[in-house]
Amino acid sequence: MDVVLFLALGLLAQSLGLPLGVLGLRRPSTLFPWRRAPTPGRVRRAWVIPPISVSENHKRLPYPLVQIKSDKQQLGSVIYSIQGPGVDEEPRDVFSIDKFTGKVFLNAVLDREKTDRFRLRAFALDLGGSTLEEPTDLEIVVVDQNDNRPVFQQEVFAGRVLEGAIPGEQEPGPPRPLFPRGRGSGWPAPCPAPPPALQQPASPGLVPTLSPDPMLPSPQVVAVYNLTLQVADMSGDGLTATASAIITVEDINDNAPGFTRDEFFMEATEAVSGVDVGRLEVEDGDLPGSPNWVARFTILEGDPDGQFAIRTDPKTNEGVLSVVKPLDYENCDQYDLRVVVRNEAPLQAVASRPERGQAWVRVQVQDVNEAPVFQENPLRTSLAEGAAPGTPVAAFSAQDPDTQQLQRLSYSKDYDPEDWLQVDGATGWVQTRRVLSPASPFLKDGWYRAIILAHDDASPPCTATGTLSIEILEVNDHAPELSPPSGSLCSKPDQGSGLLLSATDEDLPPHGAPFHFQLSPRFPELARNWSLSQINMSHARLRLRHQVQEGLHRLSLLLQDSGQPPQQREQPLNVTVCRCSPDGTCLPGAAALRTGGAGISLSALVIVLASVILLLRECYLGDEDQDYSCLQDWGPRFAQLADLYGTPRGPE
């Protein structure tokens, strides 16, 4: 088999613009891979076919690569075939062969970055399919072309560099490009035109660095650099790619703040707080709005009581001086403050101290008319209840803080709901003008409140308001009273629950209960028939010791409260002793008058007889059908009259 290489490889070299020697080929006449040597005998020698080169990305397809021939048989009687990757192995159908002529064709576009060479096996068969010769190797080499651009990892890179950085210092965050596999003629070259302050090193993938030129301008001049980065292969003559780099120049605190003047003069009004009195102007060369620019002010001396404060205006960076505690012109009419200014961020060591890092601020206090001041407000005092008119209450006077102005004070009432007090207009002396009732609705928990005004005679005048709180002290001026002063009791001691007695007192605690109940010591005989026992703080129970005559009995009781000193009162108690029912209650008409029992006075007897006459007249003047029922009702009504008007002979 002979190989027709000259035409095919010549065309390939011409398409690549290369001489034939580049492909490593000679210009043979005809090559026969299986030709026998001309020496006698059957000595076989194998020819080695040099690699066949073809360029990647060849577009004219199918493209003839080579023609192989065998001299074993005549033309047309040999069948040729090839096997291997690119034919019957992946990637398939890249190469093919004309089985009758032995021409090998390229059928697909090659990519050297995927496959850089193909090794095939060539076969020669007779028409019956028998092998004529041993297979021979056929190697096809893919020639590289510059068909891949270098690629950056990202389109935009962001970085930062500190103001005043040393030339040659690398920038953080390297923008490294990506390159296609293989390092042939397309190996990248550095950017041909570096920026004036930043330069790209020649080594692939390194970061921009500061050039040896002078330092970067401060952020106040150029805060951000927008760079365009370019990478090129083939020593800068091949394909290129671009990306953007945004380099931010970060400000450092290399400029200390300073006052625009050595002294500032301001005025402040006395007796007010929470007001601004002036501004302190400063200068700072750092980036506005950054911590390196923001000023912080400190008062070093001249304000021992902390009456002033300085805050920073975030827009202008000025110091705003304000009064936080009221000033007093009479105490101090002028303040000399020594103020220092510093940045919020620490100052760098390279920065120089300003000439005006401190300043003096003189604050002149303006005098104004101030309202009088009550020395004790509210003023609390106490007064016993029932105090007579004209009783002194308190001297509720005020003082004028304007000691350098001759002013006169006067006093008046603003609130006195019971009109109980009177105030001396010249001295502020307060006394009662009438007796205050303990039942007044304006007494709250025993306290009475009034409001007194103090006026000065300045122009315009000022008024002070004072609160006078008076505690009305409770006194024990009332004795307890029996409630009720009468009652009924069963005549048999062993029946009924006795008579429940209670007491009340107009005094408030602690001058009321507990009460003490006692049979009057002036009548010792009462204790023979009656007993009195305490139940609780305000109640007692009266019982009979033995059976006594039915009727009305008058007793005398002694009641005492718990006040200091205690109040006591001897009070009469009318007890009706009645005939008892089995359950211990009084039967109707049980308190009948008896001889030797409770006697009836002449006046009571006259009243009873008159009542009887009226009752009889009512019965007989009515209807006849009602006469009998009227007379039936007469008995119980007469018994009630007897119970009502019956009187005992004396305390029993």
Q: In the block, which residue shows the tokens 């920073």?
A: 312
CATH 2.60.40.60 boundaries in the chain? 52-143, 258-366, 373-473, 481-578
In the three-class reduction of DSSP (H, G, I as helix; E, B as strand; rest coil), residue 544 is classed as strand
In the three-class reduction of DSSP (H, G, I as helix; E, B as strand; rest coil), residue 369 is classed as coil
For 373-473, CATH number?
2.60.40.60
HEC per residue, 103-146: EEEECCCCCCCCCCEEEEEEEEEECCCCECCCCEEEEEEEECCC
Highest mean pLDDT (candidates 217-221, 227-231, 325-329, 611-615): 325-329
DSSP class of residue 503? Answer: E
Digit-coded pLDDT (tens) for 71-100: 777 667 888 999 999 899 999 999 999 988
Work out the pLDDT band at 600, boundaries 50, 70, 90.
very low
Work out the pLDDT band at 248, boundaries 50, 70, 90.
confident
Average pLDDT, the chain: 77
**Interatomic CA distance for residues 245 and 585, integer angstroms:** 115
* Cα-based distances in Å from 421 to 376, 383, 394, 560: 19, 12, 11, 35
The CATH topology of domain 258-366 is: Immunoglobulin-like (2.60.40)
Digit-coded pLDDT (tens) for 579-599: 888 877 788 764 433 333 334
Q: Under CATH, which architecture does the 52-143 domain have?
A: Sandwich (2.60)
Is residue 468 within 8 Å of residue 416, measured between CB atoms?
no
Among 46-50, 196-200, 258-262, 484-488, name the one with the lowest average pLDDT. 196-200
Among 37-41, 151-155, 210-214, name the one with the lowest average pLDDT. 37-41
- Find, among 461, 447, 455, the residue nearest to 397 by Cα: 455
Q: In the block, which residue shows the tokens 């305390």?
A: 651
Pairing of strands 52-55, 136-143: parallel
97's enclosing H/E stretch is: strand 95-97
Res 16: pLDDT? 43
Residues 6 or more apart whose CB falls under 8 angstroms from that of 438 comprise 385, 386, 472, 474, 508
Digit-coded pLDDT (tens) for 363-388: 999 888 888 889 888 999 988 878 88
Digit-coded pLDDT (tens) for 128-150: 788 887 888 899 999 988 878 88
Does the domain formed by 481-578 have CATH 3.40.50.920?
A: no
Res 647: pLDDT? 40
Res 341: pLDDT? 95
Digit-coded pLDDT (tens) for 489-517: 888 888 778 888 888 877 777 777 888 88
Res 608: pLDDT? 53
Q: What is the mean pLDDT of residues 97-116?
A: 90
Work out the pLDDT band at 169, boundaries 50, 70, 90.
low
